[in-house]
Structure 1
Amino acid sequence: MKTTENILIIDLEATCWNDRPPRGQESEIIEIGVCIMNAETGTISQNEGILVKPQFSKVSPFCTELTSITQQMLDDEGVLLEDALDILRAEYDAENLTWASYGNYDLHMLQSQARRFKVDYPLSDDHINVKTLFGELHPTVRKSVGMARALSELNLKLEGTHHRGVDDAKILHWCLEQM
């Protein structure tokens, strides 16, 4: 596993529904939670959520309950996906840093959305699946577990806003210390 001095942690939110999406709507990225973690110290130097306006869907009440993101927030503050990916490149050096996510959902969603909207994929090929790595390194878990369970196993509290990447970074730092 290749790591850079700083690791970019990504945690996506996407439109979602309690059941099926309404006709004509599809799951789209609505927030890119991002933070930069120093691989050696675990220190977080940058942390934000980049709100993204969906083009083919609306935020459902179920999605707002799950993520705290409203359609009004996206209408007022959101940017197009292409602009959000440009922010990753310009402000986070995303093409040059090792990046991580808790599971492969974020990896696959970013790849899919970049293809769907015909925009350049913004991240390096060096990806760490924190969920898998934690399962491989934890002495008692030895399987994939959710982020909240991983934090509990490490006696760590959920400190950030769920789904923003900070807590994923704490788990990743623990993993890196075990290696």
Structure 2
Amino acid sequence: MKTDRSSYFLIIDLEATCSDDGIIPRHEMEIIEIGAVMLNRATWEIDSEFQQFIQPVINPQLTAFCTELTSIYQKDVELAPTFPSAMSYFQEWLESFPKYVFCSWGEYDKKQFIQDCKHHNILYPFGSEHRNIKKEFSKYLGVSKGFGMAQALQQLGLELKGTHHRGIDDARNIAAIFRHMNTKNPS
């Protein structure tokens, strides 16, 4: 049986503008980092990665809370392209992978993409299929409890690699969880 090596899981983790005091309401949050990996369905290895900072336009000044949480600094976003240009780079990268399914930890990333695409009048690029790995992880364990990504790694005995709440590092860690779920039996 021939394996279709052109099929991937596109695992995305976004970071967005945020505050802990309500100055930035949910509907004004903007993506400031796209972290994405292409996880090969046949080998369960990451074949390619994409990382891009994005300059926010609604709330261009990052809050101290946001910088502390994400380790993304003002200079990172000031030198970055705005969302429309960043999406152009992202879509160019995506074109190398004709068959993929958009996956993320929970629904947040999908909703944030939809919100930012609408705000910038850009077509949402992923179609309707979305895999919620957070939900699938709970089913994998046979529990109803939802886990944060770091808790899920701990539950599986996997090390959190990189910086938590950095898009590219979290995308890699989510891929490690998804790989484990699909190649190991639950204990």
Q: Shorter-chain TM-score category?
A: 0.7 to 0.9
Q: CA RMSD in A?
A: 2.2
CA distance in structure 1 between the aligned counterparts of 2:88 and 2:20, rounded to whole angstroms: 31
- Partner in structure 1 of residue 17 of structure 2: 15
Q: Comparing 37-46 with 48-57, which one deviates more in the overlay?
A: 37-46
CA contact (8 A) 1:33 1:50 kept: yes
Tell me, what secondary structure is at the counterpart of 2:28?
A: coil
Kindly, what percent of the aligned residue pairs are identical? 32
The one-letter code sitting in structure 1 at the alignment partner of 2:102 is: W
Change (3 A) 1:96 1:123: farther
The answer to whether residue 103 in structure 2 is matched with residue 103 in structure 1 is: no
Contact 2:50 2:90 in 1 (8 A): no
CA distance in 2, matches of 1:177, 1:61: 40
- TM-score of the superposed pair, with normalisation by structure 2: 0.84
User: Equivalent of 2:64, from 48, 61, 67?
Assistant: 61
Task: Determine if the alignment matches structure 1 residue 172 to structure 2 residue 178.
Answer: yes
Unpaired runs of 5+ residues, structure 2, are 1-5
Checking the alignment, whether the CA contact within 8 Å between 2:54 and 2:82 is kept in structure 1 is yes
Shift of 1:80: 1.3
Between 111-120 and 89-98, report the one with greater CA deviation.
89-98
For 1:22 and 1:144, how far apart are their aligned partners in 2? 26
Greater displacement, 25-34 / 127-136: 25-34
Q: Which runs of 5+ in 1 are unaligned?
A: none
User: After TM superposition, what 4+ stretches of structure 1 lie above 4 angstroms from structure 2?
Assistant: none
Q: Could you report, residue by residue, the CA deviation over 1:114-140 in whole angstroms, capped at 9, with x for unpaired residues?
A: 11111111223221100000001114x
